[in-house]
Amino acid sequence: MGLSFEAVTADILTHPLFEETRQFVHHGVENSVYEHSVAVARMAFRMTCAMDWSEEDIISVTRAALLHDFFGYDWHDEWFKRFLSHYRGIHRLTHMHGFVHGVLAAKRASRYFALTDRQRDAIATHMFPLTPRMPQSKEGWVVTAADKVVAAREMTQCVFRAAARTLRRAQPDGV
């Protein structure tokens, strides 16, 4: 198969609004939404190639994976805190970033890129089981799985780096 990750994703990776995701911190302070999204898309690409999916399906899932966090805001920012302040109780919980960003990313991605219904669903439901809807397609399950694997790796690296910093500070001088 002559399909390459770069050929499948070049138009998205060079889009000015996708480039903006470089400025949004994601899992820990060491990586951005851009880096996370590329890692998830690469993981999905490798998974589907290993499963010997058709080129059309590999392209579909890779592009959905790349756009899964294309929500377009910094959820650590004051803007999102003000957004959440309009909700109370369970409604506040259900409007937290982890619960809503998949649907927002699917809507936003649809405005800028041609997406199939299956790709939109994969993006919207990638946070399952936080989202009430399960992925409805094989693309959705691959995007969900790839996101969980990459996020777990990123968070684990973040925790290990923080632990190493703490241990270095705790060591007596000269040891």
pLDDT digit string (tens) for 67-117? 999 998 777 778 777 878 787 888 777 767 667 789 999 999 999 999 999
How far is 107 from 72, CA to CA, in rounded Å? 11
Domain-wise residue ranges, the chain: 5-170
Cis status of the peptide bond prior to 172, with omega within 30 of 0: no
pLDDT at 157: 82
Amino acid at 20: E
* Burial of residue 146, with CB atoms counted within 10 A of its CB: 0-12 exposed, 13-18 middle, 19 or more buried: buried
pLDDT at 95: 67
| Stretch 23-37: mean pLDDT | 84
Q: Give the SS3 label for residue 92.
A: helix
CATH superfamily of the domain spanning 5-170: Hypothetical protein af1432 (1.10.3210.10)
Model-level pTM greater than 0.75? yes
Percent of the chain with pLDDT over 70: 93
